[in-house]
């Protein structure tokens, strides 16, 4: 049986485990997907003592809803994951404007480095908040 590293992180819900009364933990794929979402939704300068951590995606969301902005978001996602998430190798990033909901549909396909897992997908919707 091949040995591989296990990834653990606290759940962002901060719920209590019903048996141990500790905080709930997310593991492996769920921990990495949570990390990706947190990195992409964190604005640069938002975290104390780590001003470069995060992305500038929110700034782009207030630009016109078109394929140029979608390309800028795509590039920001690639750059952020390359710089701050060394556990993954990004295969594809698809960003498509969704005019009916006034936002962008995002799909990220990646593999976990050092594992023989199948490629994973993260799907989410980006919209400007007013």
pLDDT reported for residue 16 = 66
String of DSSP letters for 1-40: -------EEE-TT-PBPTTT-SBPEEEHHHHHHHHHHHHH
Is residue 96 a contact partner of residue 104, using CB atoms and an 8 Å limit?
yes
pLDDT reported for residue 47 = 86
Is residue 121 a contact partner of residue 112, using CB atoms and an 8 Å limit?
no
pLDDT digits (tens, 9 = 90+) for 63-100: 999 999 999 999 999 999 999 999 899 999 999 999 99
Other CB atoms closer than 10 Å to residue 42's CB: what's the count?
18
Q: How confident is the model at residue 1 (pLDDT cuts 50, 70, 90)?
A: very low
pLDDT reported for residue 40 = 92
Is residue 26 a contact partner of residue 35, using CB atoms and an 8 Å limit?
no
- Tell me which of 3.10.450.40, 3.40.50.2300, 1.10.3720.10, 3.30.950.10 is the CATH number of domain 8-127: 3.10.450.40
Domain boundaries, the chain: 8-127
pLDDT digits (tens, 9 = 90+) for 22-72: 655 666 787 888 889 889 999 998 888 988 998 999 899 999 999 999 999
**If we measure between CA atoms, which residue out of 61, 55, 43, 57 comes closest to residue 97?**
61
pLDDT reported for residue 89 = 93
Angle at 52 between CA 46 and CA 56, to 5 degrees: 70
Phi then psi dihedrals of residue 84, to 5 deg: -125, -5
**Tokens linked to 28:** 């492996």
pLDDT reported for residue 102 = 92
């Amino acid at each position: 049986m091949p040995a591989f590293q296990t990834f653990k992180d606290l759940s962002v819900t901060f719920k209590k485990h019903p048996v141990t009364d500790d905080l709930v933990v997310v593991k492996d794929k769920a921990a990495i997907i949570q990390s990706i979402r947190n990195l992409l939704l964190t604005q640069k300068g938002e975290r104390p003592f780590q001003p470069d951590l995060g992305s500038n995606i929110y700034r782009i969301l207030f630009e016109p809803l078109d394929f140029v902005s979608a390309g800028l978001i795509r590039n920001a996602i690639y750059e952020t994951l390359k710089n701050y998430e060394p556990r993954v190798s990004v295969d594809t990033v698809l960003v498509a404007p969704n005019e009916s909901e006034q936002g962008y549909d995002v799909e990220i396909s990646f593999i976990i480095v050092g594992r023989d897992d199948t490629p994973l997908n993260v799907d989410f919707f980006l919209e400007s908040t007013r």
